[in-house]
Amino acid sequence: MDRLTKQDVHPKILQKLLEDTDITIDDALENEMILNMGPQHPATHGVLRLLLRLDGETVIGCVPDVGYLHRGYEKMAENMSYYEFIPHTDRLDYISPLANNVAWVLAVEKLAGIEVPLRAQYIRMMVAELARIASHLVAIGSFAMDVGALTVFLWTLREREKIMDMWDILCGARFTNSFTRIGGVANDAQPEVLSLIKKFVDEIDDNLSECESLLNTNRIFIERLDGVGRISKEDALSYGYTGPNLRASGVEFDLRRAAPYLQYDKIDFKIPVYQEGDALARYFVRTDEVRESAKIVKQCLQLMQPGEIKANLPKSVLPQKVEVYSKMEELIHDFMIVNFGINPPVGEVYHAIEGSKGELGFYIVSKGEGHPWKCKIRSPSFIHIQSLPHLVKGHMVSDVVAIIGSIDPIMGEADK
């Protein structure tokens, strides 16, 4: 196949890559080279293209090229109703699909002014925290796999399969389950699922310690990650970091405490914060967050009372199927809602939740019709990839892989 020539790299990208940099290397070998870490790569967590400018083994410049998974979500959202967009939100951050569902319906309910019953709120919280645990397990596993520890990946995937079994029984699908509805959730949580969840969160601490025992005292792992990809507090805030990456740089900011949604103000949990800001600190923040999420799920299981799972608003909330087939008004409401959509008032709203990667927000502008006039998805992975050139400067090529793994980008969300 052809070598990478100047025609393969777009001239504007080449110009940006070759501009003057503030790194000076005093080395006898003055050979610079442009390396294409292409969209298809085992360690770039999806289709991310990085163009690296190398001097020997040291990186002196980097230009990320995104857009290989741009599917046109925002344009599609302008053409479909609020209910029809729920399965699309699953595929945004596809490792923790239920958290995206929760974010979308919370934004729509804020716009339309719908109140959700308590049991549905607790079920949503439980499901969102399980999604966070699943996402962090994959992040830890693939991060360790990139650095070289292959066994950890299979062990964390074994834990994740248990969560997927729970989702299979609760939602009907093991992955990309569009479980939440506007006004509540789709099904009630059966006692079988609740006992499985209780068993899982009781055991996750020991299982995670088993996976960690391979890594935390491993000299190769620690030396490979200590001091790599360091970012200071002011830079992290200026680059728009949120989520575990920000908490690893010393800023105690969590949207579940700063702007509480659902019932998070009644739950007691800690926020893990580390001060160093390097890749190792981000790994520790994620393992601590898995344990905190398990605590949240336990408290939800205790606080949950039997009750309704959907709000009783016939004009906006889809009625139960049993009633649709037997009563007249429910049939008419079902028809109107499915074909014309709910009609929220004119206005715009921005609502964000603490997703597993950071702050996932939806900005919806409505003109009173059944479909949004504009929908913008604020995805944390997009913002984090922007800071990659700043993080990799001065490191070796093999550190680039560790840094990308510690940032934990998901391209489905970054490219929308």
Partner 1 sequence: MELKELIQQKLKEKFPETEFEFSEFRDELSVKLNKKNILAVCMFLKEDSDLEFVLCEDITAVDWASRKNRFTVAYHIFSIKNKFRLVVKADVDENDCNIDSVTSVWKTSNWQERECYDMYGIKFNHHPDMRRIYMPEEFEYYPLRKDFPLMGIPGSLPLPKK
Partner 2 sequence: MGLEAKLNSDGFFVTKIESIINWARKNSVYPMPMGISCCAIEMMASADPKYDIARFGSEVMRFTPRQCDLMIVAGTVTYKMSHVVRKIYEQMPDPKWVIAMGACTSTGGMYRSYSVVQGIDQFLPVDVYVAGCPPRPDNLLNALMQIQDKIGKTRPKDFQNIKLPELNVIQNN
Residues 116 and 123: their CA atoms lie apart, in Å, by 11
CA-CA distances (angstroms) from residue 335 to 83, 317, 321? 13, 12, 12
Alpha-helical segments (H) within 95-226 = 97-112, 118-147, 150-171, 191-212, 219-225
Contact 291, 208 (CB under 8 A): yes
Is residue 412 close enough to count as binding partner 2 by CB under 8 A? Answer: yes
CA nearest to 55, candidates 24, 15, 13, 10:
24
Minimum distance, C-beta of residue 49 to partner 1, in the bound complex (Å): 12
Torsion of CA 356, 284, 47, 239, to 10 degrees: 70
Task: Say which residue the tokens 């601490």 belong to.
Answer: 205
Is residue 75 close enough to count as binding partner 1 by CB under 8 A? Answer: yes
**Which of the residues 336 through 355 are near partner 1 (CB under 8 A)?**
347-350, 352
Pick 87 or 347: Cβ nearer partner 1: 347
Using DSSP, state whether 294 is helix, strand or coil: helix
Is residue 219 close enough to count as binding partner 1 by CB under 8 A? Answer: no
237 binds, among partner 1, partner 2, none (CB under 5 to 8 A by kind): partner 1
Count, residues in the chain = 416
CA-CA distances (angstroms) from residue 82 to 89, 173, 369? 11, 21, 10
Residues 115 and 398: their CA atoms lie apart, in Å, by 50
Minimum distance, C-beta of residue 255 to partner 1, in the bound complex (Å): 9
- Per-residue string for binding with partner 1, 250-269, x by CB under 8 A? -x-x----xx----------
Is residue 363 close enough to count as binding partner 1 by CB under 8 A? Answer: yes
Minimum distance, C-beta of residue 5 to partner 1, in the bound complex (Å): 17
Pick 251 or 403: Cβ nearer partner 1: 251
Of positions 91, 224, 295, 376, contacts partner 1 by CB under 8 A: 376
**Which of the residues 379 through 408 are near partner 1 (CB under 8 A)?**
382-383, 386-387
Pick 156 or 242: Cβ nearer partner 1: 242
Residue 266 in tokens: 């009644």
Buried (b) or exposed (e) across 402-412, using 16+ Cβ within 10 A? Answer: bbbbbbbbbbb
**Which of the residues 138 through 167 are near partner 2 (CB under 8 A)?**
138, 154, 157-158, 161, 164
Pick 120 or 411: Cβ nearer partner 1: 411
Pick 141 or 412: Cβ nearer partner 1: 412
The residues near 132 (Cβ < 8 Å, ≥ 6 apart) are 96, 99, 289, 290, 293, 355, 356
Q: How many residues bind partner 2 (CB under 8 A)?
A: 32
Is residue 411 close enough to count as binding partner 2 by CB under 8 A? Answer: yes
Residue 198 in tokens: 């209780």
Is residue 72 close enough to count as binding partner 2 by CB under 8 A? Answer: yes
Q: How many residues bind partner 1 (CB under 8 A)?
A: 43
40 binds, among partner 1, partner 2, none (CB under 5 to 8 A by kind): partner 2
CA-CA distances (angstroms) from residue 169 to 190, 191, 227? 9, 11, 43
Contact 244, 206 (CB under 8 A): no
- Per-residue string for binding with partner 1, 108-137, x by CB under 8 A? --xx-x------------------------
DSSP state of 237: H
Is residue 75 close enough to count as binding partner 2 by CB under 8 A? Answer: yes
Is residue 70 close enough to count as binding partner 2 by CB under 8 A? Answer: yes
- Binding residues (CB under 8 A) for partner 1: these are 10, 12, 16, 66-67, 70, 72, 74-76, 79, 110-111, 113, 235, 237-240, 242, 251, 253, 258-259, 347-350, 352, 359, 361, 363, 365, 373-374, 376, 378, 382-383, 386-387, 415-416
